[in-house]
Amino acid sequence: MKRMIFFCMLFFCSTMVLTAASPRRVKYRQIHQKIEQLETMVKDKDAELLHTPENPVEGCLYTAVACFKKGILKLQPVSSQENAKFTKAIRIVSKLTYRDPGEHCESTCESYEKKPPKEFLKAFANLMQ
């Protein structure tokens, strides 16, 4: 009887481990959700236009992520009432790391077109997917 219970517990634990999402996937999902939240909180009118990488080539993902991280820090909240949520979302999104510098990328942040903050965030969300 003890063996039966032991094997049932072992089977249950092993299936839970196999179905659990990887920590990296959970982190990226959280960052994606925060980017979507920022779209509703960000000041879009009279705001600074930001360099927005769209459809970066495979070797330039590191540069694109670096551009988005720089741009995130330039965003401003619509109202001071949402400042605490806004600051927390910015902090979480800015912790994004992409470790593969890849090939030598010819493009820089300045080579990408400048767009309003909401379009910037939509492009960032697309990259995260």
* Burial grade of 79 (CB within 10 A; 0-12, 13-18, 19 or more): exposed
| Residues forming a β-bridge with 51 | 114
Q: In terms of pTM, does the model score above 0.85?
A: no
Q: Show Cβ contacts of residue 108 under 8 Å, excluding neighbours closer than 6 positions.
A: 63
Nearest CA among 97, 94, 88, 98 for reference residue 37 = 88
Give the residue from 102, 27, 128, 115 showing the smallest Cα distance to 71: 115
User: pLDDT (tens digit, 0 to 9) for every residue of the chain, 129 residues total?
Assistant: 777 776 667 676 666 655 556 777 788 788 888 888 888 888 888 888 999 888 877 778 888 888 898 999 899 888 877 788 888 888 888 888 777 665 677 778 888 899 999 999 999 888 887
- Token digits of residue 42: 């960000």
Domain 46-128 falls in which CATH fold?
A: Growth Hormone; Chain: A; (1.20.1250)
